[in-house]
Amino acid sequence: MMRLRLAQRWSDKLAHQRETGMGYQRVLVHLKAGRTIGALVYNASVLEVSDDLPPFEPQDISDIELATEQGR
Instruction: For 3-59, write each residue's pLDDT tens digit.
Output: 999 999 999 999 989 999 999 999 999 999 999 998 899 998 999 999 999 899 999
Q: C-alpha distances in angstroms, 31 versus 21, 38, 39, 63, 69? A: 24, 11, 14, 7, 20
48-59 b/e with 16+ CB inside 10 Å = b? ebeeeeeebeee
pLDDT band at 69 (very low <50, low <70, confident <90, very high): low
Instruction: For 39-48, write each residue's pLDDT tens digit.
Output: 899 998 999 9
User: Domain residue spans in the chain?
Assistant: 2-66
pTM over cut 0.85? yes
The pLDDT value recorded for residue 71 is 45
